[in-house]
Structure 1
Amino acid sequence: MTTGRRAPGTTPRQWRVLAPVVAAALAAVVLAWALRAAGGFPAVAGARVLADGAGATVLGLAALPRLNERLAVAWRPIAVLAGVWLATEFTLLVCEAAEIVGVPVTALGAGEFGIFLGRLSGGQIGIAILFCTGAIACYAAVAFRRPGAASADLVLVFAAVALALRPITGHMSQQMFGSVLAAVHTLAAALWCGALLAMALTLRSRGDWAATLPRYSGTAAPLVLVVAATGLIDGLVRIGGLTPLVTTGYGRILLAKLAVLGALAALGWWWRRGWVPRAGDHRVTARVSLRNAAVEVTVMAVAFGLAATLAVTA
């Protein structure tokens, strides 16, 4: 471990933050299904939001020392969450294969799944993502034992590739600069949410929050602007105008997502007036900072759930 750095750890109370976050993400998938008002329940969206959330958190954990140079990389949480990410990505692949074949997940045969993986682009992309997530999990597990020889940069690269692979090969890839917009949107959202959740999982003292939160706040504002702008462009290109915003299921989900982003922007503005400067001056306890971060990340999870359903909505 690099001299002068302290490895962040997690407490059971901090890990409990994940429960409302996961619940909010899945509840948003249910809400999006109701707004879509057509088709069966998108189980694939539930798997996707869990995978995206795990990936965003891994990305945030790897980026955390860049916000506070006194912190070392939290290799154990990265290893655990990368393993969760790997499992949810595999579940997502199974759900996608069953959807393509047109059978329930429980009725999907091994041969059909093999054909999906080997012959269809969605399966091949999934294999690449599984490789990236598996590599992160293995690397983090080894790095936990030998942190002095490990670098978070490799995790950042593999996590960014895994998160961006599906968006850059989706419907926007057919538009000029569409893949770039999709990648920027996905990575900005992942870093915005993942870094804050990483802070909630690993920062334990008032001093940790004082050193880290103001720097995060300085990057969060441009990130949310990027997320909103690229998401709106992506959505309008896909639906082809303003009227479908209220006449189609995709448009209604997009409006709901924009409303949540607006609420998050307002919450961020409120935090910058109160919580952030007070935390930077060591006038807020770690417990209060954890609570505030948990509230914001839970609202972010709603946006992630809506976005996951948008990704699988025609």
Structure 2
Amino acid sequence: MDSVVAWTTWATLMGFVGLAALALTAAGPAAGRIGVDTLTAVTTRLSRVAVALGVLAVPAVLTDLAHGASASGGYAYGAAWNTVYDGSNDGRLSGLELTFVLIGAALLAPLTVRKVAAGPARRWLLAAGLVAGAVALGTTKFPDAVPDDWGRAVFETGMWMLHLLGSAVWIGGMVGLLLLALPGAVAPTARGAFWSPAIRRFSAAAMSCVAAIALSGLFLYWEHVDGPTQLITTMYGRVLGVKIIIFGALLLLGAVNQFWLHPRVEALRAAGDRRPLHMILIRRFPAVLAVEVLLGLAVLFVAPFLHGSARNQAYQADVAEHSRVALAPDRLPKLDPKESSTSTWVWGTAETAAVIAVMGAGYRLSGRVARRRANAATTAATNDQGDLVEA
């Protein structure tokens, strides 16, 4: 039950952020090029689901707080409510989390009305709602005490924000695309003009998110794991290993979309395929996307099991094994945080440059593949038509 509550909290907060980001940066601009009706339909569908997730995040967060406030392992909602803005740092962060997710939902609520969804306030409301949702998500990793080392605390918080926001925009965006693939969001006559630029825009955002997740993940790995063997010998490492495997599967499916599926759809359209675009997409794109969404939600389910660090777990296991006196788990010693050196910064800079280069090259390469296949399909279709005219 605890895992379900934690998963619901993460899924609602990240879903809200991802849907708002998709409507603002990918689906909205693609729909706006087609016309007001398409922009209205896309904006209202994404906004309605986002508002619902924002509202559902409130009881999810309160339930999580209620479980932590209960001494018997149950759910003390009254005690949880009393901790909100109680003067402590934890209380302030919990209060800010609830406040900002409600503010975000309130900002997006007008966009659920068709008359407002395509109006001039659309971008401002989406941007403000996205910022509010990002703050609500960030409060889960903001420091709950005045740090001794402000530089390290700011850097760690920045890495967590990259990790959380990258995951939210990527996973929430996939959920949003799946929602738009369902009937009623985009008119059949507009699907051909909508999906290609929408997918391309989201691909750029998704690759940026993958880069953010990879870079922040490498830092968190360096901070909490001392070598690959701890991925097997510690509970933290095994859970992290499962998360890495799921993330790898997500990357593989994303590559299938980027380098095979999307270029193939482009080629079919360029060749004059007269079937409705949704027939092509419904059979290929949403099926792969649905699997990606399930894997993304699986990552959110696994993540709350990452407690402590593999370094401390391995160290404490060694101390307990060689101690002559039985030690309670809460009395076991802990290692000091890792200290960065010059080589750490050199390797970190090299990794950052490598990840950015690979993501950028991948995006450019996938674009070239799509253009080549589309051009080849157009040439073949033109030659076929010429042969028919001569005959």
Given the two structures, how large is their TM-score scaled by the length of structure 1?
0.74
> Residue in 2 aligned with 1:169?
143
Alpha-carbon separation, structure 2, partners of 1:273 and 1:103: 53
Structure 1 pair 65–299 and aligned structure 2 pair: CA distance change class (3 A): same
Q: How far did residue 313 of structure 1 move?
A: 5.9
- What is the percentage of aligned positions where both structures have the same residue? 22
- Aligned residues of 1:129 and 1:162 also touching (Cα < 8 A): yes
Q: How far did residue 187 of structure 1 move?
A: 0.9
- Aligned residues of 1:211 and 1:280 also touching (Cα < 8 A): no
Alpha-carbon separation, structure 2, partners of 1:256 and 1:214: 30
Gaps of 5+ in 1: 1-39
- Aligned residues of 2:19 and 2:169 also touching (Cα < 8 A): no
Q: Cα deviations across residues 78-115 of structure 1 (Å, max 9, x unaligned)?
A: 24433333323432233234224433334x15145403
The 5-angstrom pairing of residues 173-252 of structure 1 reads: 175-176=152-153, 177-203=155-181, 204=186, 205-252=191-238
Gaps of 5+ in 2: 310-391
Residue 20 of structure 2, aligned match among 59, 70, 79: 59
Alpha-carbon separation, structure 2, partners of 1:50 and 1:93: 15
SS of equivalent to 1:74: helix
> Residue in 2 aligned with 1:287?
282
- Aligned residues of 1:79 and 1:137 also touching (Cα < 8 A): no
Alpha-carbon separation, structure 1, partners of 2:2 and 2:157: 28
Alpha-carbon separation, structure 1, partners of 2:260 and 2:56: 39
Alpha-carbon separation, structure 1, partners of 2:237 and 2:87: 32
Q: How far did residue 254 of structure 1 move?
A: 0.9
Asked which structure has the greater RCO (Cα within 8 Å, sep 6+), the reply is: 1
Alpha-carbon separation, structure 2, partners of 1:261 and 1:201: 22
The 5-angstrom pairing of residues 1-314 of structure 1 reads: 42-63=3-24, 64-65=26-27, 68=30, 69-70=32-33, 72=39, 74-106=43-75, 108=76, 110-111=78-79, 113-115=81-83, 117-145=85-113, 146-147=116-117, 148=119, 149-150=121-122, 151=124, 152-169=126-143, 175-176=152-153, 177-203=155-181, 204=186, 205-281=191-267, 282=269, 285-288=280-283, 289-310=285-306
Alpha-carbon separation, structure 1, partners of 2:80 and 2:168: 32
State how many pairs are aligned. 272
Q: How far did residue 236 of structure 1 move?
A: 3.4
Q: How far did residue 237 of structure 1 move?
A: 0.8
The one-letter code sitting in structure 2 at the alignment partner of 1:139 is L
Structure 1 pair 43–193 and aligned structure 2 pair: CA distance change class (3 A): closer
Q: Cα deviations across residues 148-171 of structure 1 (Å, max 9, x unaligned)?
A: 233221122112222222123379
The one-letter code sitting in structure 2 at the alignment partner of 1:235 is Y
The one-letter code sitting in structure 2 at the alignment partner of 1:258 is I
SS of equivalent to 2:72: coil
Larger CA Rg, structure 1 vs 2:
2
- Aligned residues of 2:14 and 2:167 also touching (Cα < 8 A): no
SS of equivalent to 1:105: coil
Alpha-carbon separation, structure 1, partners of 2:77 and 2:223: 37
Worse overlay, 78-87 or 294-303: 78-87
Q: How far did residue 67 of structure 1 move?
A: 5.5
Given the two structures, how large is their TM-score scaled by the length of structure 2?
0.61
The one-letter code sitting in structure 2 at the alignment partner of 1:229 is L
- Aligned residues of 2:54 and 2:104 also touching (Cα < 8 A): no
Structure 1 pair 154–304 and aligned structure 2 pair: CA distance change class (3 A): same
The one-letter code sitting in structure 1 at the alignment partner of 2:12 is A
Alpha-carbon separation, structure 1, partners of 2:299 and 2:4: 17
Q: Cα deviations across residues 183-209 of structure 1 (Å, max 9, x unaligned)?
A: 111111111122222122124424322
The one-letter code sitting in structure 2 at the alignment partner of 1:194 is G
The one-letter code sitting in structure 2 at the alignment partner of 1:55 is F
Q: How far did residue 275 of structure 1 move?
A: 0.7
Q: How far did residue 250 of structure 1 move?
A: 1.6
> Residue in 2 aligned with 1:8?
none
- Aligned residues of 1:59 and 1:160 also touching (Cα < 8 A): no
Q: How far did residue 117 of structure 1 move?
A: 4.7
Structure 1 pair 54–239 and aligned structure 2 pair: CA distance change class (3 A): same
Q: CA RMSD in A?
A: 3.0
- Aligned residues of 2:20 and 2:130 also touching (Cα < 8 A): yes
The one-letter code sitting in structure 1 at the alignment partner of 2:71 is G
Alpha-carbon separation, structure 1, partners of 2:165 and 2:243: 17
